[in-house]
Amino acid sequence: MILYPAIELQNGRCVSLYRGRLDEPQIWHVDPVEKAMEFAAAGAEWLHITDFDAVTGEGGNEDLVAEIIRKAGIPVQLAGGMRLGERAVEWIDRGVGRVVVGTLATRHPDTVKALAKQYPDQIVLSVDVYQGKVVDDGWRSLTAFDPVDYVTAFEDAPLAAMIVTDIDSDIEDADASLGLITGLADMSRTPVVANGLIQSLDDLSRLKYVRNVAGAMIGRALFRKTISLPDALELAWAPLEPAAGFK
């Protein structure tokens, strides 16, 4: 399993949002570039960045993201503001390992499928679910798409992964999110990356046994220091213990 330490940017600062509420950020007083280098030094194989300013279309953190790409020393997966295919290609040309598409996929699915064929292993589908439906536009618009039907529509595209986020589930209600992720992972051939689920090492332990879950994003727990990244990496890389059979 691959762990993706997540850095969320707003106005040049590291933040965490509760259910995507952009007007109520929890600000972490750390340098984003130094934090990225710290995650890499701890052994992370990938780094995930979400640019919330690009999500809203009110500017962005392009220079900061570019600096992180140069200095982190590990591949970067970038989300935020990929509403045009040209924008995704621009970031790939600038050295991003993977780009995450959400609104582009709900509104122009053929563009995303073409990008996935042109850039295999570099396009990631974001599947954000609220009240049983997929949402887009930075979690601000509820679509008519059922998550299963939505994921099925992209089954033929050579996507690198899909990130599944259950917005409707409170942080304390991890079982609900695990149920959504388990269901989508079970029916999809695309590797699943779980988002918003890992608050403890116990959560990570359970997730390891879900079929087709290839990774997990961890953000707030790392900044709160309720999870040590070296400990989480050790657990993620450990071989699965054999499960007892039932007759």
Per-residue model confidence (pLDDT) at position 196: 86
- Reported as a pLDDT band with limits 50, 70 and 90, residue 247 is very low
Which pTM does this prediction carry?
0.92
**Residue 242, domain member (yes or no):** no
Cα separation, 194 vs 206, in Å, equals: 12
Give the residue among 237, 146, 125 at the shortest CA–CA distance from 190: 125
**Residue 246, domain member (yes or no):** no
CATH number at residue 157: 3.20.20.70
Q: Give me the domain span that covers residue 182.
A: 2-237
Amino acid at 44: A
Cα separation, 234 vs 229, in Å, equals: 8
**Residue 150, domain member (yes or no):** yes
If one counts the domains in the chain, the total is 1
**Residue 177, domain member (yes or no):** yes
Does position 167 have pLDDT exceeding 50, yes or no?
yes
**Residue 27, domain member (yes or no):** yes
Residue whose pair of structure tokens reads 């392009």 in the numeric block: 62
**Residue 117, domain member (yes or no):** yes
- Reported as a pLDDT band with limits 50, 70 and 90, residue 55 is confident
Cα separation, 48 vs 61, in Å, equals: 14
Cα separation, 71 vs 54, in Å, equals: 21
Give the residue among 22, 39, 21, 41 at the shortest CA–CA distance from 30: 39
Q: What is the pLDDT of residues 129-139, one digit of tens each?
A: 988 999 998 87
**Residue 245, domain member (yes or no):** no
Per-residue model confidence (pLDDT) at position 90: 97
**Residue 128, domain member (yes or no):** yes
Per-residue model confidence (pLDDT) at position 39: 98
Residues 6+ apart with CB under 8 A from 35: 7, 14
- Reported as a pLDDT band with limits 50, 70 and 90, residue 25 is confident
DSSP state of 244: P
Q: What is the pLDDT of residues 134-159, one digit of tens each?
A: 999 887 889 999 999 999 999 999 99
Mean pLDDT of the chain: 91
Q: Which positions are annotated as active-site residues?
A: 8, 128
Cα separation, 227 vs 198, in Å, equals: 9
Angle 109-118/85-93 helices, nearest 10 degrees? 20
Maximum separation of any 2 CA atoms in the chain, in Å: 59
Most confident of 52-56, 109-113, 196-200: 109-113
